[in-house]
Structures are given as C-alpha cells and as structure tokens.
Copies of this chain bind each other. A is one copy, B any other.
Amino acid sequence: MRGRSCIVAAVASELVAIDSNAVVEGRAALPDEKIVELVVQAFAALADMNRAKILYALIRRPLCVRDLAITIGSSESAVSHQLRILRDRRLVKTERKGHLIEYRLDDHHVAALFKEAEFHADHLRRGLPDHSY
C-alpha cells in the first residue's frame, strides 16, 4: 500500500491547480489524518440499521439489553453483539442500576449526529432544496 500511496501522491503532485488559492483553502479545512480516521470509524459504526435503531432509542433514555431488544424488535444476543461494537467505538457506555446494566449514549454529539443525518434524510425524502439557517 505504501508503494501505491507514493504513486498517487506523485500523480497529485504533477497536477497543476486550476485555482491554487482554492487548494490552500481546501487543505486548511482538512483535520489531522488521525481525526479523519476516528470520524470515519464513527460513521462506519453508525452505518448499520440495528445499531442506528439502538442509538435512536437511547437518544430518548437509557435502556437495558432486554428492553432495547423489545424496542427495536431484535433478540437480546443480537443487541448485545451490536452494543459491544458501539461500546468499543465509545458511542455508548454502561451504568449499573441495582442489579441491571443500563446503556446510554456516550456523549451528546452522538444524538446531534443523528439529528443532522435525519434532517439530511428528510430533505432527500421530501426533495427539498437547500436552505440557510
């Protein structure tokens, strides 16, 4: 892969910019490679119907595995499996309530992500033009 990325970088370095100021501005908008990786990993974790439903349900309130399974119409073992993935990516966390383990969103940004994605989806579905805030 290293060889391939060298070739790609060489190809890109041979290109002459149409607007070199635009390239400078575009590059300034790119965060560290590590941040892009974490962002992409988070999006990958959200790109699954069952994980998305689990997170939607948890936006409203914390839930235990059993109640999550009933909420999204899945089995407890399937929900446990998805929760492990979401926990690894730090999208959910656990909290002990007496003898129960409850799951909740790990931070407010996860709920905000779904809200924004839903606005986008709603735009698509209704075929709305873009709007400014």
> Which chain A residues have a beta carbon within 8 Å of chain B's beta carbons?
8-9, 11-13, 15-19, 22-23, 25-31, 34-44, 46-49, 52-53, 56-61, 63-64, 66-76, 78, 90-91, 100, 106-110, 112-114, 116-125, 130-133
Nearest 7 CB-CB pairings of A with B: A38-B121, A29-B60, A26-B71, A26-B57, A44-B47, A43-B47, A109-B120
Q: How far is the CA of A26 from the CA of B114 in the complex (A)?
A: 15
Q: Which DSSP category, helix, strand, loop or mixed, fits chain A's interface? A: helix
Separation in Å of the A69 CB from the closest CB of chain B?
6
Q: How far is the CA of A114 from the CA of B117 in the complex (A)?
A: 10
| Residues in B neighbouring A120, C-beta threshold 8 A | 38-39, 42, 90-91, 107, 109-110, 113
Partner of A75, one of B11, B23, B70, B130: B11
Are B52 and A12 closer than 8 Å at their CB atoms?
Answer: no
Are B43 and A52 closer than 8 Å at their CB atoms?
Answer: yes
| Residues in B neighbouring A53, C-beta threshold 8 A | 30, 36
Are A131 and B108 closer than 8 Å at their CB atoms?
Answer: yes
Q: How far is the CA of A90 from the CA of B113 in the complex (A)?
A: 17
Are A23 and B125 closer than 8 Å at their CB atoms?
Answer: no
| Residues in B neighbouring A113, C-beta threshold 8 A | 113, 116-117, 120
